[in-house]
Amino acid sequence: MVEPAKITMGEWLHLWLDTVVRNGKRPRTYTTYRNVIDNHLVPKLGHIRVQQLQAQHIQSYYAGSELASSTLGQHHAVISAALKAATMQGVVPRNVATLVIGKPRLMGSQRDIRDKCWTAAEAQRFLAVTHEAGEQMQCFYHLALDTGARKAELCGLLWSEVDLDRGQVRITQQLISPVSLPVFGPTKGGIPRSITLMSQTIELLRRHKARQAETKLASGRSYSDFGLVFARDAWSADKLGWPLSPSSIGRKGFKALIEKAGVRQIVIHGLRHTSGSLLLMAGVSPYIVQARLGHASLSMTMSVYAHVLPASQQDAATRLSGVIYPTK
């Protein structure tokens, strides 16, 4: 190991990643942290010696970034955790990340959440144009809005977990990495969940499954069948059947559909937020919403979607009034 006085932030982040995160976190978390470190933190902060790192360095990194506050909040969590480990091992005397003023929050404000999801009318307009993305992606977007599943969960969804007769899907895993050989792991919460689907989504899944079967038959041995619901069909001749890449979904194609629909720009994770918000606005029990989204607790569901509560409170008052003071 490099002497504590000489070790740079980049060296420490990689050391922490490989000795602490790899052994103590889920594979998906390790991959996420590695991407943050390699693509963002090392290029900007990696050259600074850990013992010379100051809160001002971290603040300058945030101030000069064009990333969303919630994304920088994730970066701050990584920096702070790595520096906390450095203090515990005597590499630095204190965690300077705790001294950052106005640090970005991992989860945005409720106003941020409202800006990251659509109204029912916007969702309708978006779904109305998804056919232009092709049958597979049309099905992907509908299923994302219907289930509120994370894109990595949809990329790892197996046909064996889809019951079209009962109209249900079971979310049991997520795609960790599509590179080299596909790697799958447990969901973020680690608990499988079953979700009942809308009839419109079921019909799209039936059509997509039939079309995928035709592709498999026509491709023969060139199709690598991993049993995935969503798989590469024409992106690369030697990658047919491989999982879609979560990082590539939601870029140009998604933005083009948003522009076509004339709705507000959101990231693809916003489909999950839209699903949760619309369910609560429709009067669905928060416990059911929690179960569909796979949140660890009800308090998490309600904290994320607190912006729905004012309307829910008004609806509750109206219903109570109807019971206590029924019209004659």
Residue 235 makes CB contacts below 8 A (sequence gap 6+) with none
Can you give the pLDDT at residue 313?
77
- Give span(s): CATH 1.10.150.130, the chain: 9-106
Q: Are 294 and 188 in contact (CB under 8 A)?
A: yes
Per-residue pLDDT tens, the chain, 328 aa: give them.
Answer: 557 778 999 999 999 999 999 888 878 788 889 999 999 999 999 999 999 999 999 999 998 888 877 788 899 999 999 999 999 999 999 999 999 988 886 554 455 677 789 999 999 999 999 999 999 999 999 999 999 999 999 999 999 999 999 999 999 999 988 777 888 988 887 889 999 999 999 999 999 999 999 999 999 888 999 999 999 986 555 789 999 988 778 677 899 999 999 999 998 999 999 999 999 999 899 999 999 999 988 988 888 888 787 777 777 788 888 888 887 5
8 A C-beta contact, residue 271 and residue 147: no
Class level of CATH domain 9-106: mainly alpha
Question: Vertex 215, ends 127 and 245: CA angle to 5°?
Answer: 60
119-311, what's its fold? Answer: hpI Integrase; Chain A (1.10.443)
Q: Can you read off the two tokens belonging to residue 196?
A: 């009942």
- pLDDT confidence of residue 319: 81
Ranges in the chain annotated CATH 1.10.443.10 = 119-311
SS3 47: coil
Q: pTM for this structure?
A: 0.72
**Looking at residue 4, what is its pLDDT?**
72
Could you give the count of Cα atoms lying within 13 Å of 180 in the half-sphere of its Cβ?
A: 4
pLDDT at 94: 94
> In this predicted structure, what is the pLDDT of residue 112?
62
